[in-house]
């Protein structure tokens, strides 16, 4: 058996209007190749970089949201290496004075994990510029360079090796994507490369006499989906373990290897195995003066941080009594969470006006709302691939519908039909129910006679139920509901039928 030790290095592309050190559009990924470029981001001699203030501010904002300490003085450095995607021959990055250091994030790991919560240390957050994009065209025997991405602002976030399973690494990354979206600093779309991840993994093996040895690290480069992160880490952990058991090189070598992830074959591929002393000859970027962050600046940026996903999740559970799972689903989508909350506050007005409204009824209503927003409304919107912000249903109308369901004025089948109409033509639920006479039948006499009729018309089903076939009653309930034009309350109908047949 073995255990994992995992650390992540994540690049997050900021969605600023312009690039990191020039005024070129930062929307190069949607433009023809080599059109959002200028002499600065092409690295022409004699040009000077000018810092993008917004990018720095967003870097500080993210570092604060990750509970980092902001370095009072932060500076840029040149990282020297030669590659065709790097026109200057160096990348402007940060070496010993990054923007933020020593942060942490708390994560919750879903079922089946070795632990349910974990605090993950953030080693550092620094800013740097992206390199150009290389497009390999083997049929032409050439590689092409698109400089649009050159000098796009990136945050690099490095974690401590605090993850003990691939699932934890995936959860962290998903949380980070959500966090940067809440902070409104990145689109954080992994498929588009806005969020890229390198993972360092090693395994710990405990011998029979209780001595634990840690294997050398494998660095997995450029993982570009959450699934790939989890799969690649699992694969590499198991591969190291097999190599260990076979008495392989992993037992003796003392340097790390670099591997890539082949998504088609679902396996890691060795890229570099010899010990390579990277000498980037970092030195301070002479063209950019150091940054001084004043206490006042940091306080101001801190005040711009909105309520973060974890805080929102906790508040939803606390204030509305909904389940952590429902809270998680709502919070995953900022707009959906806002819709839920606005509808809940509309419902509040209604709940407060009721004579007899206890806490239990309130909680039941909020839970009902969460279920309807997530499953019913969410389900209907998913069919047409409509986002909640494009949906015509207002929180006020949604609240009316939920109130009608909570008061048992309509049953759930009718409510579903009403919701569909609300989505299609923005109809007011009260008007629709009154005009079309959809209110639930409360008249017990009416229900009793419909039940009687159904039992008489379906003697076989009635007999089956009497003989112990519990399911037979559902057929009879269906018959009664048809008789009542779908306006009966299924529970009442069922009770009445049982009374008749009992
Ligand atoms: Zn430029």
Is residue 229 domain-shared with residue 357, that is, in the same domain?
A: no
Is residue 376 domain-shared with residue 468, that is, in the same domain?
A: no
Residues 438 and 418 sit within 8 Å (Cβ to Cβ): yes
Please tell me the distance between residue 53's alpha carbon and the centre of ligand 1 in angstroms: 15
Is residue 290 domain-shared with residue 369, that is, in the same domain?
A: no
Instruction: Supply φ then ψ for residue 50, to 5 degrees.
Output: -125, 130
Please tell me the distance between residue 149's alpha carbon and the centre of ligand 1 in angstroms: 10
Is residue 476 domain-shared with residue 416, that is, in the same domain?
A: no
Q: Which of 413, 435, 457 is the last residue of a domain?
A: 435
Please tell me the distance between residue 98's alpha carbon and the centre of ligand 1 in angstroms: 24
Please tell me the distance between residue 155's alpha carbon and the centre of ligand 1 in angstroms: 18
Please tell me the distance between residue 21's alpha carbon and the centre of ligand 1 in angstroms: 7
Is residue 317 domain-shared with residue 295, that is, in the same domain?
A: no
Quick one: which H or E segment has residue 91?
strand 90-93
Please tell me the distance between residue 29's alpha carbon and the centre of ligand 1 in angstroms: 14
Please tell me the distance between residue 38's alpha carbon and the centre of ligand 1 in angstroms: 4
Please tell me the distance between residue 68's alpha carbon and the centre of ligand 1 in angstroms: 31
User: Per the structure, how many domains does the chain have?
Assistant: 3
Q: Which pLDDT belongs to residue 450?
A: 80
Closest CA to 154 of 305, 306, 16: 16
Please tell me the distance between residue 471's alpha carbon and the centre of ligand 1 in angstroms: 70
Please identify which residue in the block is written with the tokens 């004025």: 409
In a 13 Å sphere around the CA of 450, the CA atoms on its Cβ side amount to: 27
Please identify which residue in the block is written with the tokens 């953030």: 122
Strands 100-108 and 117-129: antiparallel
Please tell me the distance between residue 126's alpha carbon and the centre of ligand 1 in angstroms: 21
Residues 155 and 52 sit within 8 Å (Cβ to Cβ): no
Domain that holds residue 418: 309-435
CA distances from 408 to 22, 357, 444, 450, 491 (A): 62, 15, 14, 19, 11
> How many helices and strands in the chain, by DSSP H and E?
16, 17
Between 309-320 and 324-332, two packed helices, what is the crossing angle to 10 degrees?
Answer: 140
Please tell me the distance between residue 150's alpha carbon and the centre of ligand 1 in angstroms: 8
Q: Which of 435, 458, 474 is the last residue of a domain?
A: 435
Is residue 194 domain-shared with residue 124, that is, in the same domain?
A: yes
Please tell me the distance between residue 464's alpha carbon and the centre of ligand 1 in angstroms: 79
SS (H, E, C) 302-340: HHCCCCCHHHHHHHHHHHHCCCHHHHHHHHHCHHHHHHH
How far apart are the C-alpha atoms of 311 and 257, rounded to whole Å?
A: 39
Please tell me the distance between residue 305's alpha carbon and the centre of ligand 1 in angstroms: 29
Is residue 220 domain-shared with residue 274, that is, in the same domain?
A: yes
Is residue 171 domain-shared with residue 206, that is, in the same domain?
A: yes
Please tell me the distance between residue 157's alpha carbon and the centre of ligand 1 in angstroms: 24
Q: Which of 415, 435, 455 is the last residue of a domain?
A: 435
> How high is the mean pLDDT in each 10-residue block of the chain (502 residues)?
95 97 94 94 92 97 97 95 91 96 92 85 97 88 93 97 95 95 94 93 90 92 91 95 88 87 89 70 93 96 94 93 92 91 88 75 90 88 84 87 82 83 82 72 75 83 82 79 74 79 78
Please tell me the distance between residue 304's alpha carbon and the centre of ligand 1 in angstroms: 29
Please tell me the distance between residue 439's alpha carbon and the centre of ligand 1 in angstroms: 64
Q: Which pLDDT belongs to residue 96?
A: 93
Question: Which residues keep their CB under 5 angstroms from ion ligand 1?
Answer: 22, 24, 38, 40-41
Is residue 204 domain-shared with residue 251, that is, in the same domain?
A: yes
Please tell me the distance between residue 255's alpha carbon and the centre of ligand 1 in angstroms: 39
Is residue 89 domain-shared with residue 177, that is, in the same domain?
A: yes
Please tell me the distance between residue 36's alpha carbon and the centre of ligand 1 in angstroms: 7
Is residue 424 domain-shared with residue 454, that is, in the same domain?
A: no
Is residue 430 domain-shared with residue 471, that is, in the same domain?
A: no
Q: Which pLDDT belongs to residue 69?
A: 97
CATH number at residue 490: 1.10.10.410
SS (H, E, C) 169-208: HHHHHHHHHHHHHHCCCCCCCHHHCCEEEEEEEEEEEECC
């Amino acid at each position: 058996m073995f255990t994992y030790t995992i650390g992540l290095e994540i690049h997050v592309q900021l969605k600023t209007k312009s690039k990191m050190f020039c005024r070129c559009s930062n929307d190069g990924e949607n433009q023809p190749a080599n059109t959002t470029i200028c002499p600065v981001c092409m690295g022409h001699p004699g040009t000077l970089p000018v810092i993008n203030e917004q990018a720095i501010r967003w870097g500080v904002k993210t570092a604060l949201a990750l509970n980092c300490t902001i370095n009072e003085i932060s500076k840029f450095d040149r990282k020297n290496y030669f590659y065709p995607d790097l026109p200057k021959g160096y990348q402007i990055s940060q070496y010993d004075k990054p923007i933020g250091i020593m942060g942490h994030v708390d994560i919750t790991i879903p079922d089946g994990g070795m632990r349910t919560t974990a605090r993950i240390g953030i080693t550092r957050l620094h800013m740097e510029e992206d390199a150009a994009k290389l497009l390999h065209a083997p049929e032409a025997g050439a590689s092409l360079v698109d400089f649009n991405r050159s000098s796009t602002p990136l945050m690099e976030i490095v974690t401590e090796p605090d993850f003990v399973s691939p699932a934890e690494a995936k959860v962290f990354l998903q949380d980070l994507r959500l966090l940067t979206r809440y902070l409104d600093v990145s689109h954080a779309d992994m498929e588009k490369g806005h969020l890229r991840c390198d993972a360092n993994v090693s395994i710990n093996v405990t011998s029979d006499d209780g001595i634990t040895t840690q294997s050398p690290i494998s660095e997995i480069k450029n993982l570009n989906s959450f699934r790939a992160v989890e799969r690649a880490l699992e694969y590499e952990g198991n591969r190291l373990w097999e190599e260990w058991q076979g008495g392989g090189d992993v037992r003796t070598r003392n340097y790390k290897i670099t591997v890539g992830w082949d998504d088609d074959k679902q396996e890691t591929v060795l890229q570099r195995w010899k010990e390579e002393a990277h000498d980037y000859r970092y030195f301070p970027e002479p063209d950019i003066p150091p940054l001084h962050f004043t206490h006042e600046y940091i306080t101001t940026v801190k005040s711009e941080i909105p309520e973060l996903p974890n805080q929102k999740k906790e508040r939803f559970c606390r204030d509305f009594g909904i389940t952590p799972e429902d809270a998680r689903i709502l919070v995953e989508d900022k707009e959906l969470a806002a819709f839920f909350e606005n509808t809940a506050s509309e419902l509040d007005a209604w709940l407060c006006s009721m004579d007899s409204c206890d806490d239990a009824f309130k909680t039941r209503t909020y839970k009902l709302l969460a279920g309807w927003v997530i499953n019913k409304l969410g389900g209907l919107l998913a069919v047409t691939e409509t986002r909640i912000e494009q949906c015509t249903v207002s929180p006020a109308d949604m609240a009316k519908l939920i109130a009608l369901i909570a008061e048992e004025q309509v049953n759930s089948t009718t409510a579903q039909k009403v919701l569909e109409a609300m989505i299609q033509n923005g109809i007011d639920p009260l008007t629709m129910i009154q005009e079309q006479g959809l209110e639930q039948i409360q008249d017990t006499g009416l229900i009793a006679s419909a039940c009687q009729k159904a039992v008489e018309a379906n003697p076989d089903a009635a007999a089956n139920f009497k003989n112990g076939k519990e399911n037979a009653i559902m057929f009879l309930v269906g018959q009664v509901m048809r008789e009542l034009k779908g306006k009966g309350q299924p529970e009442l109908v069922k009770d009445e039928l049982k009374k008749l047949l009992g």
